[in-house]
Structure 1
Amino acid sequence: MSDARLIEEAVAQAAAGDPGAALMLYESGCAAPLPAHADALYDLGRLALALERPAEALDFLDRALDCNPELSPAHVDRARVLNRLGRKRDAIQAMCRAVAIDPEAHAALNRLRWLLDEGQLRTPSALSRLAQRGVPVASVLDVGASDGQWSLAAQAIWPDARYHLIEAFDHWRSALERVCAAHPGFSHAIAAAGDREGEIWFHNDPDAPYGGAAFHGQPDKGWKVPQVTLAAEAERLGLKPPFLIKLDTHGFEVPILEGAEALLPQASLVVIEVYVFHVHPQALLFHEICAWMAERGFRSIDLSEPLWRPRDKALWQFDLFFVRTDRPEFAINSY
């Protein structure tokens, strides 16, 4: 069956709330005589998984692995299906098999870690812990929203909140339009966030759409995009506190937070993707971000999504969750 780019796009659209392309490809693949080729069967399994048909997905992935037992990505997705079906032990075994075949399969290693720690390092678990402790959220400002999946995860925790998704890379425009059309209370802006309204330089590798960063000076490669401030966006849309501000902005955090200075006293939660290394000269390291936030009345209380870089397995980045320093949790210093 396989046009890899077409399959990737269909799976991404299904994840963003528009399963039409995935369904069309899946039905056309099922209507024809079933292939005996591992990659084609794997594609059908991925599409079935994207369409929330785990039992069918498992069947296709098992057939793909019968054809090619060394197809590591099929073991990864098989583990995802098994975990979704409540078969955690089998899921861990499948993920271990994927890593045994390809020890450099970092996605598999991360998923295996999540399975072993029961998902405690994943964003939905961290958000759920915060909600259980009574952190209130009325409006979410999701900066670096990409395809909107982070806000959809947060919506499962705070279903009555208002969500505004800000993304500088036009690649994600159609995905965000679909998400916002499917979810009342969602809106989006194709723009960078910063410390002033206007324009700013932006660069993103089209082959790595989850990256990208804004720059005050012109980068070697880049283009200008609109720039907004979070305070102005909140006022324009009539967003109400308490605010959740989430930044996935690859080292451009301080200018964005400076543009949200008026909102920070009304923020209950700030989630920042932080780095252990200088990803570019403007970026603060994670401990510097902690100090910057402490000056504004916030302390870190949780983390999620740690990532280790491939070359030396050094911790590269993770998401830090900041709440106000007057939270009751900080009144207790014992374990």
Structure 2
Amino acid sequence: MTKGKLFNRVLRSAASMLTRQGFHVSEERYSAAYLKRYGFDINTFIDVGVYQGSPVFYELFKDKKFVLVDPQPDTMEKAADSVKGLNFDYIQSGAGSAKGVATLSLEGPSSSLMKRRDWKRQPEKTVEIQISPLDELLENKGYKGPFGLKVDTEGFDLDVLKGAEKTLRETQFVFTEASLRRRFEGSYRFSELVAYMAEQGFEVADVIPHRSHNRLVDVLFVRSDSSYLEPNAVPVRMVGSSGKTNNQS
């Protein structure tokens, strides 16, 4: 028996045992190894809402051009280790549907331009920032498509996408954090996000749940006319109660 087959047998045995104890066992989908199966072929990756970086995508597209968009003044200090060795540009700005000034509540990775409904505490610090449509921030910079786009802006995600309609026309996929519950005052409903992306020619290809709660998920949108929506385009190893693995789309 090869090492690979032995390893898979051990995994199946462990997964079966955990399932019998009431645990759900599935493949880690927020990983470069999993997302690589889609075969995305882009020239530029745009990361909106950087904070400490997006290592999964930096690994996946390490030989591509990166555009990092974030308004926080210490973004490059926090993301220094993640972006080391990458070919990137940093744009210090907020992104939204229109140009203006807004108040950003500084809460580390949970920093937001929206007022929270799910937290009772007040933000420790706020800062005034400039906001511009992503289309304007990228305009005349010579960035080459097709693009990959990641948006993680704590409830402001749909607003960011509404300011990126021109960019979306050259975008192969969009990976965005999405609220399932109304976590912020005046924020979107999940159905509104899906409907807007459908209007832009995108469909949901994958939904990755949060590990510890169901208030939000990560959603992968791909172009509705692309091959990435075909059945079995990305085989997922799921482990059932019998311990057997099956390929599912």
TM class by smaller structure: 0.7 to 0.9
What are the superposed Cα offsets for residues 171-223 of structure 1, whole Å, 9 maximum, x if unpaired?
4331235555x324112223211123342211123xxx11011149xxx7532
Q: 1:172 to 1:155 in 2, by over 3 A?
A: closer
**1:122 shift after superposition:** 2.1
What are the superposed Cα offsets for residues 300-334 of structure 1, whole Å, 9 maximum, x if unpaired?
1013352443xxxxx22111000111113546699
Q: Say whether 1:165 aligns with 2:51.
A: no
Q: 1:190 to 1:228 in 2, by over 3 A?
A: same
The percentage of aligned residue pairs carrying the same residue is 22
Q: Which is further off, 291-300 or 190-199?
A: 190-199
User: What is the TM-score of this pair, normalised by structure 2?
Assistant: 0.72
Specify the SS of the correspondent of 1:140.
Answer: strand
Q: Distance in 1 between matches of 2:100 and 2:79?
A: 22
Q: Distance in 1 between matches of 2:230 and 2:82?
A: 40
Q: Which is further off, 160-169 or 244-253?
A: 160-169
Instruction: Name structure 1 gaps, 5 residues minimum.
Output: 1-85, 97-111, 310-314
Which structure's CA Rg is the greater one?
Answer: 1
**Partner of residue 130, structure 1:** 38
Amino acid at match of 2:51: S
What are the superposed Cα offsets for residues 97-140 of structure 1, whole Å, 9 maximum, x if unpaired?
xxxxxxxxxxxxxxx97xx4242x32424422222xxx221111
Q: Distance in 1 between matches of 2:188 and 2:211?
A: 17
Q: Distance in 2 between matches of 1:239 and 1:167?
A: 17
Q: Say whether 1:323 aligns with 2:232.
A: no
Greater share of strand residues, 1 or 2?
2
**Partner of residue 141, structure 1:** 46
Amino acid at match of 1:289: L
Specify the SS of the correspondent of 2:159.
Answer: helix
Are the aligned partners of 1:201 and 1:224 in contact in 2 as well (CA < 8 Å)?
A: yes
Q: Distance in 1 between matches of 2:132 and 2:82?
A: 21
Specify the SS of the correspondent of 1:213.
Answer: coil
**1:257 shift after superposition:** 1.1
Q: 2:103 aligns with which of 201, 204, 224?
A: 201
Amino acid at match of 2:153: T
Q: Distance in 2 between matches of 1:306 and 1:215?
A: 20
Amino acid at match of 1:139: T
| Mapping for residues 249-268 of structure 1, pairs under 5 Å | 249-268=153-172
Q: Distance in 2 between matches of 1:192 and 1:329?
A: 30
Q: 2:144 aligns with which of 220, 240, 245?
A: 240
Are the aligned partners of 2:63 and 2:86 in contact in 1 as well (CA < 8 Å)?
A: no
Specify the SS of the correspondent of 1:288.
Answer: helix
**1:235 shift after superposition:** 2.3
Q: Distance in 1 between matches of 2:181 and 2:114?
A: 18
| Mapping for residues 245-324 of structure 1, pairs under 5 Å | 245-309=149-213, 315-324=214-223
User: What is the TM-score of this pair, normalised by structure 1?
Assistant: 0.55
**Partner of residue 100, structure 1:** none
Specify the SS of the correspondent of 2:109.
Answer: coil
Amino acid at match of 2:41: P
Higher relative contact order (CA 8 A, sep 6+): 2
